[in-house]
Amino acid sequence: MHNPAPSDHSIHELIRNRWSPRAFADKPIPADVLRSLFEAARWAPSSYNEQPWAYIVATKEDQVNFGKLLGTLVEFNAGWAKNAAALAIAVAKLAFTHNDAPNRNAQYDTGAATALLAVEATARGLVVHQMAGFDAEKARKTFAIPDGWEPLAAIAIGYPGSPDSLPPKLKDREVAPRTRKPIREFVMTGSWGHTAPFVAK
């Protein structure tokens, strides 16, 4: 399903077409395409070039590890994410490697890496759905994630499927109009709450 964003201002088609559906096609992702998604994440900017991200990934062909990843999701998410071609968990290293000082940008930088992964996926006809609804502690135990690393989000990756494959309530959400806050609500100048002049016009 194609569901471009109804943007108020001009943006690149890759950004217009990036979205987070729950319907996935029963189609595997070629290994070279998966490599390109994580190569895109590799080149995200990060504080001190720390690159504090890591990803635990399993494709549906790897039934054991896919099942382990699926088992970390809350029941609602597991119900639809089981149809994705691949699942992942994004993990952030919370301290800098060079001095072990806290890296307050670790989560921010890991999010940036995953955003680039999602844009690369869009360019290749894939969709990505990121989820807060997973059990971080279960993920830590299941995958032996070491101390100092924080599981941040679960990720479903695959080719878009038909909304008809979803239960009625989820189908309704899938085909509903996409909405976002207007930029005048979050782009400010001078002091908090004062909309930037270039936005207010």
For residues 50, 51, 56 and 60, what is the CA-based torsion angle, rounded to 10 degrees?
-170
Distance (Å, whole) CA 188 – CA 186: 6
Sheet harboring 53-59: ordered strands across?
Answer: 53-59, 86-93, 149-158, 127-131
24-42: average pLDDT: 98
Distance (Å, whole) CA 168 – CA 108: 35
Q: Is residue 95 part of a domain?
A: yes
Residue 25 burial (C-beta neighbours within 10 Å; 0-12, 13-18, 19+): middle
Q: Could you report the per-residue pLDDT of 94-136, keeping only the tens digit for each?
A: 999 999 999 999 999 999 999 999 999 999 999 999 999 999 9
Q: Is residue 92 part of a domain?
A: yes
Distance (Å, whole) CA 79 – CA 71: 11
Q: Is residue 54 part of a domain?
A: yes
What SS3 state is found at 123? Answer: helix
pLDDT of residue 201: 66
Q: Could you report the per-residue pLDDT of 155-192, keeping only the tens digit for each?
A: 999 999 999 999 999 999 999 999 999 999 999 999 99
Instruction: For residue 110, give the CATH number of its domain.
Output: 3.40.109.10
Q: Is residue 104 part of a domain?
A: yes
pLDDT of residue 3: 85
Q: Is residue 126 part of a domain?
A: yes
Any residues with CB less than 8 A from the CB of 30 and at least 6 apart, and which?
Answer: none
Q: Is residue 112 part of a domain?
A: yes
Q: Is residue 175 part of a domain?
A: no
Contact status, residue 132 vs residue 153, Cβ threshold 8 Å:
yes
Closest CA to 23 of 89, 97, 82: 82
pLDDT tier at 2, thresholds 50, 70, 90: confident
Residue percentage of the chain with pLDDT more than 70: 99
What's the whole-number average pLDDT of the chain?
A: 96
The residue range of the domain holding 20 is: 14-164
Number of domains in the chain: 1
- Residue 200 pLDDT exceeds 90: no
Pull the structure tokens for residue 140.
Answer: 């830590």
Distance (Å, whole) CA 76 – CA 28: 23
Distance (Å, whole) CA 72 – CA 28: 21
Distance (Å, whole) CA 52 – CA 113: 9
Any residues with CB less than 8 A from the CB of 181 and at least 6 apart, and which?
Answer: none
- Residue 65 pLDDT exceeds 80: yes
Q: Is residue 180 part of a domain?
A: no
pLDDT of residue 78: 98
